[in-house]
Amino acid sequence: MSDNGHQQNEHENVPSRQRRRFEGISSRTYEHPADRSALVALRKLSGFDTVFKALSGLLPERSLRLLFLSDSVRVSDAQFAHLNTMLRDACHILDLDKVPPMYVAQDPQPNAMCIGLDEPIIVVTTGLVELLDEEEMRAVVGHEVGHALSGHAVYRTILLFLTNLALRVAWIPLGNIAIMAIVTALREWFRKSELSADRAGLLVGQDLKASMRGLMKLAGGNHLHEMNVDAFLEQAEEYEAGGDLRDSVLKILNTLPRTHPFTTVRAAELKKWAESRDYQRIMDGHYPRRTEDKETSVSDSFRQSAASYATDVKNSKDPLMKLVSDIAGGAGDLGGRVRRGFGGFAGGTPKDQTAPKDQTTPEDRTSPKDQPPRDSTPEDDD
């Protein structure tokens, strides 16, 4: 438990209010299953990080470090001291030994990032600093420290590099296709890593309302008096369940180029996790330790990831996901379900589905009582 009376450690951190400290916590504790499985697999690849670090001369990392050092403000006891306190506090709570350098960059667009191969660096924009209050900003700093603890910075930097490379080789058809396939897969992981970091931010701030306020401000600006958390979450539910299959396809197309999930989706996901038994167990002190990380199984992580996706599909209210779930469950009338999902294709009744006119003559039509009786057979019962 972190408190105002604990002895000064290497972080020289004194939290402004009581919050639980998670000594030796493993990043697996808060990582989304899809994020966790990818990271476990990458960590098991001997020399993976070494190879990419050896290629650091090709990456813009050194240039970025010099850029932030020369044209941004480095957070310290002398500059943006309140952010420095939050940073040390976050590292103390998540038990991160080395505090990463943090910079404030002049940019009216609210944003924050954690990048770097050799050592992670955290950058927040002036737009974000001016937008959020202390507790909301604490959740954001915890979010970025969570990225650092998970080792996301390495793979996020690789994604930036591959995205730039794809632009340079766009004139090579097969080369561009191959790189964009990797970029698309990395973006899917990237989006899940953001959900993981949101959870880390909640573990640091330990104030769900502040986390939700921060996400609402990212969506609607500094107008909290005009916004409502419940109504904001209703937007996420409407986004997931509304429309037909056409809207489902559009949602996929809108999501593919993004590195972050949509803000309402992040809010709904974080609230769901905060209300879960897993979160309560963490707050009670039951969580994986870093000392156990080497014992993690890649196959177990992938099974957990697959189970998570399957659960998401099963519980989703999205029309396409419901269709996928029905198909997996062996539901019949697939063609009819697809047609209904697309609103009858044209919103009306297709010509080939109009009821046929009765072509029989009065003489052909007989009442049931005029029909000769039939013997009941098992085939008739079917």
Residues 6+ apart with CB under 8 A from 55: none
Q: b/e per residue, 211-243, with b = 16+ CB within 10 A?
A: bbbbbbbbeeeeeeeeeebeebbebbeebbeeb
Given the residues 144, 194, 240, 269, the one annotated as active site: 144
> What is the identity of the amino acid at 328?
A
Report CA-CA distances (Å) from 80 to 86, 205, 256, 297.
10, 19, 36, 42
End-to-end CA distance of the chain: 68
23 classed as catalytic:
no
Strand duo 102-105 + 121-125: pairing:
parallel
Residues 6+ apart with CB under 8 A from 322: 316
Q: Are 112 and 92 in contact (CB under 8 A)?
A: no
Q: Are 162 and 182 in contact (CB under 8 A)?
A: yes
DSSP string, 74-107: E-SSSSSHHHHHHHHHHHHHTT-SSPPPEEEE--
Per the DSSP assignment, residues forming a β-bridge with 292 are none
Residues 6+ apart with CB under 8 A from 56: 62, 117, 118
> What is the identity of the amino acid at 258?
R
Q: Are 125 and 111 in contact (CB under 8 A)?
A: yes
Catalytic residue positions?
144
